[in-house]
Structure 1
Amino acid sequence: MADWLSLAAAPTFAFMALASGVLSTGMPDPLCTTAGQGMTMNPMLLMYVLMSVFHLGPWLRLLDRWRIGRRLMTAAERYLP
């Protein structure tokens, strides 16, 4: 169950990045500005993109297992009559 739950983090953060990018008002957050210079990108968007990238590990392991399984299956098919 924990393996499947770990797969939920990356898509959730990707969706939140998309939502914060689409729903952003374009106004810089006063807490994120320094000396009147605001970030050109929404800081929440940047955070959610980074969190999504950091949580890609379980997806990469799943794809690797799938790829290895396919490779083993095609190798076995070569030796079957």
Structure 2
Amino acid sequence: MHGNFAIRGAANWLHLAASPVFAILGVMAAFDDGPMASICNASGNNPFFAGMNAMYFLMALFHLPPWLHLILGSGNTKC
């Protein structure tokens, strides 16, 4: 019974990890000069918000509601 409680507690807080991880990946991808950077960023106009960077930042935005619930104190951290 206690193991199940620990798993649920960990799962409650695990969803908070998604948004910061995607934001970090977006920043890392923005400053990547490797061979994949030219393939993933075909536009070349604004490399910070293009290609994989845009996807990572959008994913960070879509996973933001649990943080907003936590910050605003709604009491419900489950989404």
Structure 1: where are the runs of 5+ without partners? 69-81
CA distance in 2, matches of 1:44, 1:10: 15
CA distance in 2, matches of 1:62, 1:51: 18
Moved over 4 A (4+): none
What percentage of aligned pairs have identical amino acids? 36
Cα deviation for residue 24 of structure 1 reads: 3.5
Cα deviation for residue 4 of structure 1 reads: 0.5
Q: Compute the TM-score of the two structures, normalised by the length of structure 2.
A: 0.64
How many residues of Structure 1 are paired with residues of Structure 2 in the alignment?
61
In structure 2, the partner of 1:72 is none
> Which of the two has higher C-alpha Rg?
1
Structure 2: where are the runs of 5+ without partners? 1-9
Q: Compute the TM-score of the two structures, normalised by the length of structure 1.
A: 0.62
Q: Give RMSD over aligned pairs.
A: 2.5
